[in-house]
Amino acid sequence: MESKLSHYDEGGKVSMVDVGAKTETERTATARAYVALNKAVLQALPQNKKGNPLEVARIAGIMAAKRTSDLIPLCHPLPLTRVNVELQQDDNGIEIVATASTVARTGVEMEAMTAACVAALTIYDMTKALDKSIEIREVHLLEKTGGKSGTFRRQERK
């Protein structure tokens, strides 16, 4: 693990990390979010007047990954080669798993995290009329590959 934060210059001012000397490599990141929904909201999903909330959320997540550098101030714009957002309903809500890939000089963790978060927010937006107490939980990076730091896989916490 790095011993210092990367987005500061020698004088302590916030700065964008210079990735110019880094080698372009294949990079992938996968993130997760969970939207906790009550039973009534889960049962109402197929009848949503705005359309299928899960499909709209999937598209919103993909679009968000492509705009990550517009949202996160010091994030580099990346040429994404793939973004995939999968949503799985269970008895308590919706699990979102977002994966982003690129060939670049910096990683795509922020793109995967942004995709998962915006997909979760979209589900909230499309279902809030039924319940304002919906919760977005457990947003985290599951895995990243490529780059100087290599592979990271989240270990489940006990």
Which residues are the active-site residues?
Answer: 125
**Helix 109-127 / helix 53-66 crossing angle, nearest 10 deg:** 150
Q: From the CB of residue 2, how many other CB atoms can be counted at a distance below 10 Å?
A: 6
Q: What DSSP string runs through 31-83?
A: EEEEEE--HHHHHHGGG-TT--HHHHHHHHHHHHHHTHHHHSTTPPP--EEEE
- What is the residue type of 148? K
